Structures are given as C-alpha cells and as structure tokens.
Amino acid sequence: MSVDALLHNATTAMGDEDLMGDTLMEPIRKCVEAYGYSISAMDGKQEGCQRVFEVFKRSAAFFVATLAVAPSIGLAGMGAASKLVDLYAKFDEKVSQSEISDYIPLILKQFSRTGDRTVTYLRARVAADEVDMPLYYKPFKGSEIFFFDQMEQNRGPKYFREVVYLNTQEQVEALKGADKTQSVLYLLPFASFYREIEKEGDACSMPKYHPDWTQHKVRLSQLLTIESEQLELPEDAYPIALHIRDGGDYDDNNTKTLHPLKLPSLNFYIGELNRVIEMKKNEGEYNFFIHIFTDAIDPESVLDQIRGQVNAEGVDLAFSFAPREEATLRFDAGNMHRFKCMIRADSNLSGPITAASETELDIFPSGFTIDEDEVVISQVYINQAGKEKVAEATGYRKPMQGWLPMWFNRFFYSYFGLRQVPLAEE
C-alpha cells in the first residue's frame, strides 16, 4: 500500500473508531474543531477595528485550544508508529469491501461552488470514458439538478491499495492498457478556470491536463441535461444571454482581484454586448432579447446600468432577469444553453453548458494584465459556430480591490497560471 493510499484511507476513515481509535484521533479532532471556529465566517457588515478584534478573538481561541491539547498530541505521537502498522493491516483487509465513501477533497468540500465541482466531475467522467474505467462518484451540493447525478451509480469503495495522481494527458492515455482489476484510485487535477496549457509559464503549479470539451459535445449535452422551467424566448428577436458573475454576498473584494476573468467588471459585458448588437445589426438583425443570469444582490441595478450604456440606436431591445428571491441554480443552468449568443464570465457553470449547446456565439474573457492600480481584461475569446476561435484585444478596466498586497496578487497569478496578456499597443 502506497503512502498516498494510506493518507487517503486515513482521511476516509476519520470517525471510524474501529479503525482509528480515540487515542490517536481525539487530539487531532479537537484542534480541527478549534481551528474551524477561529476562521468561521463572520458578519460581512462588520467594519475596521470590529473585524480585526473578531479575528484576534477567534485566533486566540484556536491558540488556547491548541495548547490545551498539546500534551495529548505528544502522547498520541509516541504511539502513532505502532498504530500506523496496525492501520496498514486493517486498511489492507478493508480494501476488498465495497463501502460507499463520503470522501471529497477538502478544497472541493469547503471552498468551491457548484460550477467548480461540476467541471471537476466532468473532467473525471470524460477521462473515465476515454480509458474505459469506472468512476468514483459522490454527489455534491448542486449535483441533484443534473442528469448525471441520476445516471452515476458506481460511487466507489472507501479504501484503496494505490493512489495515483494523473498530471498529463499522456498519463491518462496510458491508462487505456491498464489492469482494471487493481485496487487503484486515479486522481485528476482540479482547476477553477479556463486553461491554455500550451501558453502557461514554467512558474505555473497546475498539472498539465485539461480536456478539450469540443471533442465531447454530445456526451456533455447528455450529462448536463436539466429538467427546469423554461424561459419564454420571443420568436422574432435574436436571443442574447449575459452570465454576469458579480460575487453577490459570497465573494469578497480580494477574490474579485485574484480571479479577474471569473469576476470581470460590468464594462466587459456592456462592451461585448454593444459589439454583438452592432455585428448582428450589420447582418440584418434589429430585434434583440437579452436575459441576465446573475448572482448579484441587486440584479435590477445591474440591468439599469446596462440599459444606460448599451447602444440601442436603430434597434429594439427587450431585457429580462429573475429577481434575486426567484433566481435558482436549476432555472439558470437549465436555460443557458437556449440562447444563440452567450456573453459570460470564465465560469465553470456556463462554460461547459455553452460548450455542450448549439450556441452560435460564445464570448468570454481570456486574458488580463495589471496596469498600475488597475486590473485590465486585455483579451477576450470569441467562439463562433463553424469558425476558428478568435482572440480579440480589449481594455476593460477596474480598480484593484481588497487589502491583499500587490506582490501577493502577482505571485498568485503566476503560481496558478492565470492567463496574463499584455495590453495591445494603441
């Protein structure tokens, strides 16, 4: 049994007293609980000194709790070696059993949204299809709206003898000839954004694997089928969808700066909407129906800003949106594929849905840069049915937000391989 497999099995067995026992797990459990308390979500309305005091108070609670259980941790550590030997034998015995696991990688369990989890599932499903292997599947929050949640029955065993990380397309391809009877868990990398692996720098920490959705359009369409109330689209108007990722009350200003392509400024959507209207007007379209999918707290305010800046000369525009109290993930995801044009953020929800649809025109931000104290969307991709994808130079600006220092932002962009594109010369 490999070390990675032992770590996976130990994580999966948390709470299984027959395997882990109180002596080893109780001190660890207490520290985890204290740490969770110290970083638990605070009231977003707190300001300045009040927030600083709250962070200090909760961090102090964690520190005190850690000191309190330190002796227990030391005693547990003295017996850890013998316990690990015992665990190894128990896990080896458990491998052949078919218990269903509740294990999900920590980053997906606590810090990701439905789109991130969905695209992670799709990567694994596509790879499993390609190499003819069973998929280790566990439902997640939001998965219940998709057809794949009903389709997937093989949820996998709890314990494995080997865990292998697949970091390249070549490693995935090599699995086509692998022994399917071995107790091996293959893990694919997680990425929360659209990737161009061939353009990523050496500093990027992300494994070099990302499937080409265009090669799996029919399969994606089947997996992402949703039973939902249908938005009424007028037959005499060209339908355009705007998927506006605002962050709502979920993403703070630091997140908006760290993920400029996932949370672009409103001027990106307005600029691209004006471009599409002008292009379609030249093709003889004069009636447009524009629906806004958004997580904004005040979608009506978003609509008012768009109305005030869109170029409506010589055309008829009709807008719609779902009020915040009525908007649901099922309704949004179940209607995004029905529009001829999608102007969207680099979203792991609308991205795969659009790739699986018959959308004629798909536009999303694909590159950014930092210009003094501003984040600039410097490039967008335009996917038009029947044509090669086109990269267009742009200059949609927004101020840097949040309290994280600039050096951290730059490190984050390089480390995770976010696509930086210099501004085009004017």
CB atoms within 10 A of CB 368: 24
Same structural domain, 303 and 255: yes
CATH number of the domain at 326, please. 3.40.50
How far is it, in rounded angstroms, from Cα 236 to Cα 220? Answer: 29
pLDDT value at residue 356? 92
Total count of domains within the chain: 3
Same structural domain, 388 and 249: yes
Q: What is the pLDDT along the chain (426 residues), one digit of tens a residue?
A: 676 776 767 666 665 555 555 444 444 444 445 444 444 444 444 454 555 555 555 555 555 555 554 555 444 444 445 555 565 566 666 666 656 665 565 556 666 788 888 988 998 899 889 888 888 888 888 999 999 999 987 666 777 888 888 888 888 888 888 887 777 888 887 776 677 777 766 666 666 777 788 888 999 999 999 999 999 999 999 999 999 998 887 888 888 888 899 999 999 999 999 999 999 999 999 999 999 999 999 999 999 999 999 998 999 999 999 888 888 899 999 999 999 999 999 999 999 999 999 999 999 999 999 888 899 999 999 999 889 889 999 999 999 888 888 878 887 777 776 768 888 765
Q: Give Cα 205 to chain centroid, integer Å.
A: 17
Same structural domain, 400 and 305: yes
User: Which one of 69, 94, 119 terminates a domain?
Assistant: 94
Backbone angles phi, psi at 274, to 5 degrees: -60, -40
pLDDT value at residue 89? 65
Q: Determine contact, residues 299/317, Cβ cutoff 8 Å.
A: no
pLDDT value at residue 54? 57
User: Which one of 160, 183, 199 terminates a domain?
Assistant: 199
Same structural domain, 114 and 237: no
Residue 211 within a domain: no
Same structural domain, 119 and 154: yes
322: left (phi over 0), alpha (psi -120 to 50) or beta: beta
Residue 40 within a domain: yes
Same structural domain, 230 and 314: yes
pLDDT value at residue 410? 80
Residue 281 within a domain: yes
For residue 398, the SS3 value is strand
User: Which one of 35, 68, 94 terminates a domain?
Assistant: 94
CB atoms within 10 A of CB 331: 18
| Domain span holding position 345 | 226-415
Give, in degrees to the nearest 5, the angle at Cα 158 between 152 and 164.
90
Same structural domain, 237 and 192: no
Tokens 């630091």 correspond to 254
How far is it, in rounded angstroms, from Cα 276 to Cα 271? Answer: 9
Same structural domain, 83 and 145: no
CB atoms within 10 A of CB 425: 5
Beta strands in 66-210 (DSSP E): 162-165, 184-187
Token pair for residue 230?
């249908």
What is the gyration radius of the CA atoms in the chain, in angstroms?
A: 24
pLDDT value at residue 361? 97
Give, in degrees to the nearest 5, the angle at Cα 393 between 391 and 397.
130
Nearest to 344 by CA among 193, 214, 127, 236: 193
Same structural domain, 190 and 272: no
Q: Determine contact, residues 183/95, Cβ cutoff 8 Å.
A: yes
Residue 212 within a domain: no
**Total residues found in the chain within this entry:** 426
Q: What residues contact residue 274 under an 8 Å CB cut-off, 6+ apart? A: 310, 311
Question: pTM (2 decimals)?
Answer: 0.78
How far is it, in rounded angstroms, from Cα 141 to Cα 149? Answer: 11
Q: What residues contact residue 54 under an 8 Å CB cut-off, 6+ apart? A: 42, 46
Residue 41 within a domain: yes
Same structural domain, 131 and 82: no
Same structural domain, 298 and 368: yes
How far is it, in rounded angstroms, from Cα 53 to Cα 40? Answer: 14
How far is it, in rounded angstroms, from Cα 331 to Cα 321? Answer: 11
Nearest to 361 by CA among 347, 380, 342, 386: 342
Say which amino acid occupies 416: F
Same structural domain, 84 and 117: no
Q: What residues contact residue 383 under an 8 Å CB cut-off, 6+ apart? A: 361, 362, 363, 389
